[in-house]
Amino acid sequence: MKLGMIDYGRGNLRSVINACSSLGYDPVLITKPDELAEMTHLIFPGQGAFGDCMESLHRLGLAEPLREWISAGKPYFGICVGYQLLFEASEESPGTAGLGVVAGTVRRFTGNGVKVPHMGWNAANLEKADSPFWAGFDDSPYFYFVHSFYPTGVDPELVAVTCDYGDESFCAAIEKGKLLATQFHPEKSQHAGLKLLGNFLGS
């Protein structure tokens, strides 16, 4: 296998690289479409605003190649904004279209009495516990979150994880075939995060 990591100039690369290295994988940074050709697995690390990240992808010529990669069913792991960009749009950046490979809109938390951003450890309610990605997990592992927005209108068939925050329950991860994308940060989630990354990289 050959692991690529999207480098769009804004992502939390170092901690994700370190997590992959601890599992025995050396990711190749991807900044051009032709660099995807030799890759078998792809990680999109998350940090930054929805609109800024989409602008970077278009500038680098990576938006359409990413759509094609995902449509072809190749292994893709999106983290935080790498998850949100899969959807059609976000309230964070009105007028900016996402990759649109998954139906839904990313919205800001509006529940009463909750702090925004949602930051810290929270339980993940597994909806696809029989999936190879979640092998070895109990029903409610804890992961680390840092976000103010989350996707709504997600196809229930794609929902892999839900999470409760205040009076809201939101979709915290999606899965379809070789596609896995999470709102939480596995690279900051210690043992559980490394297990999930390892399951993806071994797929």
Encoded tokens for 148: 């103010």
Dump the DSSP string for 47-76.
Answer: -S-HHHHHHHHHHHT-HHHHHHHHHTT--E
**CA quadruple 158, 20, 186, 16: dihedral positive or negative?**
negative
First to last CA, the chain: 10
For residues 23 and 200, the answer to whether their CB atoms sit within 8 Å is no
Q: Could you give the residue numbers annotated as active site?
A: 80, 185, 187
Which residues of the chain form beta strands (DSSP E)?
A: 3-6, 28-30, 41-44, 76-79, 89-90, 105-108, 118-123, 125-126, 142-147, 149-152, 159-165, 168-176, 179-182
Element (H, E) at 185: none
| Token pair 């939390």: residue | 12
Which residues on adjacent β-strands are paired with residue 172? Answer: none
Which residues on adjacent β-strands are paired with residue 150? Answer: 107
